Structure 1
């Protein structure tokens, strides 16, 4: 079950009702699915319960005098900027915030985590994701910051989201069981290497579908691996994640269209799999420091 089903918006509304606040910004994919929200919380004391999704809360700035109680037991009394806390689904948590603070939420459906655990061969406990508060987890922080950045830039396409979900779910499943993670890593290294023939099939499939229709699941099936194992195998073989590789290939094709044709930028964007001219221009500028139009004019001069 994807983490961005429609009830993610219900989760944001529910948190807003409990916190007596409106989100500063709702974070969405290019197709409109809700993946999270940015919140500026005033001092408050509230109880949160009955959420459909877990909320992974990254403390961005402001007051760190935050208390959390889960099912009547203290989880902690001091947050830190950059730390991550869980607002759990289907459990009751009480929060005391002694001053203004700013946080970012990413919403994750519990069923998606259970599915990821099954794919990784780990029995998932009936109580679900273990509670945590103010954790210092660099990998989880990087994953969340990447999601928030892409969503804020309106650059979160379905393929990128699918890859992010696979990485996030695998990390959340493994993070509570380091012994399991070490054993799984050892097995994966031996079993998930991609052959040259498989890489050729993957590259061919990507080239044929750069204008749209790329799916992490389809690429994984081409390699006869689960999405989680495929991500690690591809990075090991290519040196980039599938999304990075696809974006690079789209940029190469875009440069060729810009130089060799007089097609409008919006048409080139669609040919290369971007949602629109603004999405294409933002991605192009991040990569080359110029808009597509300016880059084209500079090359032609």
Structure 2
């Protein structure tokens, strides 16, 4: 994802490709980028793009896909963005030096669904600041393997990119819906909802309030919200609260109970239970582990 505002000729390099690998219909690019000045990114491509934040600090981040689903909180290592083929992605950020990977997949890339049938990876759902531990660690592993020259590493990388294809097909396809498909939220309404959720994460959020803001019934909101964001309002709110908690855990020394309450969880144990279901580890293990781990 080279920045939209590439530095003028002669300036210090802001963007560097650390590794690159290719397979049929699949490409991996591992990048390091200096974003101490405001940096703009844009994607508008006929391929799926999965972006995985691997390391480094962002202080500000604002991203959207096709004008909706904006995220505001800076990411933690492991957060992902999925830009389906043909969708327009725009982002601006500031921070320090970051490392990230892009997995670029053609919609013609296929997967095995059994009975000697292969189908293309089409109709994926957009994701913004999503958490997927398998995707995170597999893409990071693929980046490390792509930097090796031996044949065993090449075979392992080949196998891993096939598993990643299958994972995307199994977990991120748009749900089948009877025609006509439920209407999506208008871009302005989607932005209002995401802004409202972001501004009130530390408070109790009610479906009725979100529906009122959107000018819909609760039933209409549930259908349109899932069609737009690829998830339910409850799952979206939980994901945003966990993202904010991860950022506090990584970038400060606040007590975990205080972080839990600030992010909208009822208690330390409430945050810990949700965090462990999402990541497999507790908030304290996450904080201690990331502080010990070197940047990729």
TM-score normalised to structure 1 length:
0.45
If asked which structure has higher relative contact order (CA below 8 Å, sep 6+), I would say: 2
Which structure's residues are more often strand, by fraction?
2
Which structure's residues are more often helix, by fraction?
1
